[in-house]
């Protein structure tokens, strides 16, 4: 199997390769192709990835290329992990909304919209070339943020795509340790949109252990999620840590105004990682990679690729997939993040119990924003940007939406062809 990673120069990539090395018997990969426009960075990451495989005794070879066509031709699956504009653009996304006292974050709010506007056209171009060169049956696994909007763009354009995030698998691994059971023994009642999800059940052998977790591990949950244990107990659910941007918006903004942007922290971690990757004596995954974010990304990605490329039959994974009535209060073409049965034919969402109004209302609100965000990303236009921001619950006032739209366009003209003359 040829597996292609677009954005392969990312410091995430060794995490993925390490996961492949650990699944030698179940994922028959013989070539991993890393595609990235940054040849210098690609050379460092590619050489380290090959050392990881060799040290683990895995026979796959790693090849690197800046040529997308060469990289994707004949691929069995293509993973997308792009960051258009790099950490510099991310730093902008995390700071410009603060001028209006709005959350600065790279996947939600005004910052998330900026990332979507830069990213969607690039991803759609990549996907068209994948389909032309690798074939229409090739699966595209999208890890590129904002995952929900990008995956919706791919599906809307007719591509064979599934979106993936590490939030669910991270929570599964973490709560299994609290409960003292094997990770694979835990299944989640995970529902929502990408980076807007709630755990409504934590099942072990068919028994919901979530009430026990809330009662006995509430403070640990609070420290992990960043929200009060009392709130989670009252709601009877565990929100993802991204919900703090909604439930504690003002407190988060106040903190963001004094703390360095996450992009600065990540840039420092990336420099340290690239220095380590350059050391020919380093042949295992560095501990510092855990500071980069994306915990358990490798496990989630490898398991999903395994299922999509034949696997051992139907497997259950939490993925981003077309709604198709799963949440009846959303349009069919919305993309939801829920447990699904995954086979070589794709991902089919499992039935979801009726969603509580407090959760359903926010899901519907953000889904409306995502529809407008995708319209802006595909068709362009300053007013479409403002309309999307007005629809976002973290913005929601016309004067603020207008100001943020102008700020967003001004800061991203180099990435938005339609904005160059604006």
User: Annotated active-site positions, please?
Assistant: 242
Residue 3 structure tokens: 């597996």
**What are the start-end ranges of the H helices in 135-184?**
147-156, 167-179
Reported in sequence order, the residue ranges of 30-105 that DSSP labels E, i.e. its strands, are: 31-35, 61-65, 77-80
Q: Could you give the angle at which helices 86-95 and 109-134 cross, rounded to 10 degrees?
A: 150
Q: What is the DSSP string of 143-154?
A: -PSSHHHHHHHH
What b/e string do you get for 55-85 counting C-beta neighbours within 10 Å, with b at 16 or more?
A: ebebebebbbbeebeebbbebbbbbbbbbbb
Task: Give backbone dihedrals phi and psi of 354, rounded to 5 degrees, phi first.
Answer: -50, 130
SS3 content of the chain, % helix, strand, coil (to 5): 55, 15, 30
Contact 132, 68 (CB under 8 A): no
Identify the three-state secondary structure at position 355. Answer: coil
One-letter-per-residue 3-state SS of 370-405:
HHHHHHHHHHCCHHHHHHHHHHCCCCCCHHHHHHHH
**What letter would DSSP give residue 261?**
P
Neighbours of 239 (CB within 10 A): 23
Residue 69 structure tokens: 């066509």
Of 108, 150, 154, 111, nearest to 131 by C-alpha is: 154
Task: Give backbone dihedrals phi and psi of 205, rounded to 5 degrees, phi first.
Answer: 55, 40
H/E element holding 410? helix 398-411
**What letter would DSSP give residue 134?**
H
How far apart are the C-alpha atoms of 190 and 202, rounded to whole Å? 9
How far apart are the C-alpha atoms of 168 and 152, rounded to whole Å? 19
Identify the three-state secondary structure at position 73. Answer: coil
Contact 241, 226 (CB under 8 A): yes
């Amino acid at each position: 199997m040829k597996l292609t990673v677009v954005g392969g120069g990312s410091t995430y990539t060794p995490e993925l390769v390490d996961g492949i090395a650990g699944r030698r018997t179940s994922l028959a990969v013989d070539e991993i192709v890393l595609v990235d426009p940054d040849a210098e960075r690609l050379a460092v990451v590619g050489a380290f990835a090959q050392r990881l495989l060799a040290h683990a005794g895995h026979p796959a070879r790693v090849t690197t290329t800046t040529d997308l066509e060469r990289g994707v031709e004949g691929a069995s699956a293509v993973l997308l992990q792009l960051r258009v504009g790099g950490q510099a653009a991310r730093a902008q996304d995390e700071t410009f909304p603060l001028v209006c006292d709005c959350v600065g974050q790279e996947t939600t709010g005004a910052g998330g919209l900026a990332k979507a506007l830069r990213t969607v056209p690039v991803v759609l171009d990549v996907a068209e070339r994948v389909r032309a060169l690798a074939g229409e049956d090739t699966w595209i696994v999208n890890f590129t943020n904002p995952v929900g909007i990008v995956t919706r763009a791919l599906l809307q354009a007719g591509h064979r795509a599934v979106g993936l995030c590490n939030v669910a698998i991270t929570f599964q691994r973490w709560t299994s340790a609290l409960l003292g059971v094997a990770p694979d023994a835990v299944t989640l009642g995970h529902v929502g949109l990408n980076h807007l999800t709630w755990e409504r059940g934590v099942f072990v052998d068919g028994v919901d252990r979530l009430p026990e977790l809330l009662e006995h591990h509430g403070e640990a949950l609070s420290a992990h999620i960043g929200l009060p244990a009392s709130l989670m107990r009252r709601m009877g659910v565990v929100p993802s840590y991204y919900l703090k941007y909604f439930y504690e918006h003002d407190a988060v903004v106040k903190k963001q105004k004094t703390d360095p942007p996450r992009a600065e922290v990540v840039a420092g971690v990336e420099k340290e990682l690239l220095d380590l990757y350059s050391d020919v004596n380093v042949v295992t995954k560095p501990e510092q990679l855990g500071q980069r974010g994306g915990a358990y990304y490798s496990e989630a990605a490898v398991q999903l690729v395994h299922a999509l490329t034949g696997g051992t039959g139907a497997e259950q994974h939490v993925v981003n997939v077309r709604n198709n009535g799963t949440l009846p209060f959303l349009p069919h073409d919305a993309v939801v993040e829920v447990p699904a049965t995954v086979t070589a034919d794709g991902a089919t969402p499992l039935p979801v119990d009726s969603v509580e109004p407090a959760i359903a209302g926010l899901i519907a609100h953000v889904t409306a924003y995502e529809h407008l965000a995708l319209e802006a990303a595909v068709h362009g236009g300053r007013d479409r940007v403002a309309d999307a921001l007005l629809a976002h619950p973290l913005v929601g006032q016309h004067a603020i939406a207008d100001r943020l739209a102008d700020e967003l366009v001004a800061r991203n003209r180099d990435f938005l062809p339609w904005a160059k003359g604006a």
